[in-house]
Amino acid sequence: MRLVLFMVALAAASAAHAQFRIPSFDLNKAVESVKNVNKAVREPSEAEEISIGRDVASRLLGAAPLVDDPALQRYINQVGRWLALQTERSDLPWQFGVLDSPNLNAFAMPGGTIFITRGLLERMRSEAELGGVLGHEIAHVLRKHHLKAIQKGAQTALAGDALSAALRERGGAQRDKLIAFGAEMYSRGLDKSDELEADRLGVVIAARAGYDAYGLPAVLQTLQAMNPQDSGLALMFKTHPAPGERLDALGERMQPVLDAYSGQAQLADRFVRQLRR
């Protein structure tokens, strides 16, 4: 909206500037500018959302490849898809991957591609804990947190038609700019409110899937006990609220749900078997 006003103001200013040559305000031109902006701020279609997410995912895989273990990758996909099936976007082409990095982190791309690092997986004790973390990432996709942030940020980098084209078509310099901006989102982080919302929804999604709802809090507690100076935590701590704050927020809002579903499955054995093979 701010952008629309800016464009209108700009059109008005340039018309005023050119008053000697063109006596009247060029309404057609102003309307055209507003139309272009409207095109750009329209909600991307689901197909566009998926394709943006995949282009960003491809970059992340350029930073860290998948762990070379097909059975582990299939396992993470089964857990993840089962969780995603409990949500309002169960039909997205969900895909999950374990990245070969000792850092502790997880990433959700628009359209349903989700990564978790080997470093974070190694710190978990059960499938319920994994379910809590994947639930949090799935929630980001459901609520389009990254898509909205990418779109909002890209509007300042790519105006009007350029952004519209970059959303629509793969390839080209504008698209590269959009995707580079998208990848950068993952090193800058989302708004705190998005992260806390994803925590609350993640707990619910894990509970729906039949897991002990305390899986996510348990992982947050593990992170909280680690040395915050640990280099493997640097990016996650930069891009997320502190684990203690996230635990406080879950305690305030989610205690009844957590307790109602605390007796559900842990599946520690199945999880450990996958990592030990």
Site for other proteins in 198-237 (CB under 8 A): 200-201, 204, 207-212, 214, 217-218, 221-222, 224-229, 231-232, 234-235
Question: For residues 99 and 167, which CB has a smaller minimum distance to other proteins in the complex?
Answer: 99
For 3-39, b/e burial (b = at least 16 CB within 10 A) is beeebeeebeeebeeeeeeeeeeeeeebeebbebbee
Going by C-alpha positions, the residue among 88, 194, 68 that lies closest to residue 137 is 194
Question: For residues 26 and 46, which CB has a smaller minimum distance to other proteins in the complex?
Answer: 46
Query: Restricting to residues 35-54, which ones interact with other proteins according to CB under 8 A?
Result: 54
Question: For residues 90 and 156, which CB has a smaller minimum distance to other proteins in the complex?
Answer: 90
Instruction: Quote the least distance from Cβ 40 to other proteins, whole Å.
Output: 24
Going by C-alpha positions, the residue among 202, 195, 219 that lies closest to residue 87 is 202
Query: Restricting to residues 15-34, which ones interact with other proteins according to CB under 8 A?
Result: none
Question: For residues 164 and 264, which CB has a smaller minimum distance to other proteins in the complex?
Answer: 264
CA distance 169 to 51: 9
Helices vs strands, H then E, count in the chain: 14, 3
Q: Strand, coil or helix: what is 199?
A: helix
CB 203 within 8 A of CB 264: no
Instruction: Quote the least distance from Cβ 43 to other proteins, whole Å.
Output: 19
Instruction: Out of 49, 55, 194, 195, point to the residue binding other proteins (CB under 8 A).
Output: 55
Q: Strand, coil or helix: what is 2?
A: helix
Instruction: Quote the least distance from Cβ 235 to other proteins, whole Å.
Output: 6
Identify each DSSP E strand in the chain by its residue range.
95-99, 106-109, 113-117
Instruction: Out of 127, 137, 194, 195, point to the residue binding other proteins (CB under 8 A).
Output: 127
> Does residue 171 bind other proteins (CB under 8 A)?
no
Per-residue x/- marks for other proteins, 141-160, CB under 8 A?
--------------------
Query: Restricting to residues 69-88, which ones interact with other proteins according to CB under 8 A?
Result: 69-70, 73-74, 76-82, 85-86
Question: For residues 74 and 152, which CB has a smaller minimum distance to other proteins in the complex?
Answer: 74
Q: Strand, coil or helix: what is 117?
A: strand
Work out the number of other CB atoms within 10 angstroms of the CB of residue 71: 9
Instruction: Out of 95, 151, 164, 174, point to the residue binding other proteins (CB under 8 A).
Output: 95
What are the structure tokens assigned to 100, written together? 């070969």
Instruction: Quote the least distance from Cβ 128 to other proteins, whole Å.
Output: 10
CA distance 252 to 207: 18
Q: Residue count at the site for other proteins (CB under 8 A)?
A: 105
Instruction: Out of 35, 42, 192, 238, point to the residue binding other proteins (CB under 8 A).
Output: 238
